[in-house]
Amino acid sequence: MRAGSPRENYLGVRGWVWAGRYDLERYLYTLHRITGLGLVLYLFMHLTVMAIVRGILGEGAYEDVIDFFEHSVFKVGEYVVFAAFIYHGLNGLRLIFQELGFLLGKPKPPIYPFRDSLRRRRPLALGMMGFVVVMAAFVLTDFAKGGP
């Protein structure tokens, strides 16, 4: 009998979204990836712009760029980046806790009716998402007041 290849059931990017009955945590993971990719894109744009205007062009160009990004469209974009940071950071922290076994309770023998690992993980996921919403709303108040 031929050994199965690990790529036989590979769904590619489509599998990020749907491959059957995905649970909440799977979609949180997909959103983690999407925010991660967005933040990588932002990181390289931020690095490039700041290196050029601060290191090469100097004060005049720096102040022109800062004024340019004061436009409300960029303020909304800045908040989206901020919200993505909050989500990616806190969901990442949840994944680290989960991987290292923190906040999941002590291991118990699997005697019926047992609490499976999903039911142990779910409160952590919901709690962390609640924290994400609170933090995002908190930061929104700063933007609404016309933060820098």
Partner 1 sequence: MRDTYLWLLQLVTGSLIIVFLAVHMVMMHLDNIVGFFGGHIDEPSFWSSMIDRATKGWWLTFYISFLALVLYHALYGLRGIVLEVTPSGRTERVVTGMIWAVGLGAFALGVYAPVHLFTR
Sites of contact with partner 1 (CB under 8 A): 7, 12-13, 33, 36-37, 39-40, 43-44, 47-48, 50-51, 54-55, 59, 62-63, 66, 78, 82, 85, 89, 92-93, 96, 99-100, 138-139, 141-142, 145-148
For residue 124, what are the CA distances in angstroms to 27, 48, 59? 15, 37, 47
**Closest distance to partner 1 from the beta carbon of 47 (Å):** 5
Sign for the CA dihedral angle at 141, 91, 37, 15 comes to negative
CB-nearer residue toward partner 1: 2 or 145: 145
**Closest distance to partner 1 from the beta carbon of 143 (Å):** 8
CB-nearer residue toward partner 1: 81 or 120: 81
CB-nearer residue toward partner 1: 54 or 71: 54
**Closest distance to partner 1 from the beta carbon of 17 (Å):** 13
DSSP result, 1-47: -PPPPTTTT--TTHHHH-SSS--HHHHHHHHHHHHHHHHHHHHHHHH
Rounded Cα gap, residues 142 and 148, in angstroms = 9
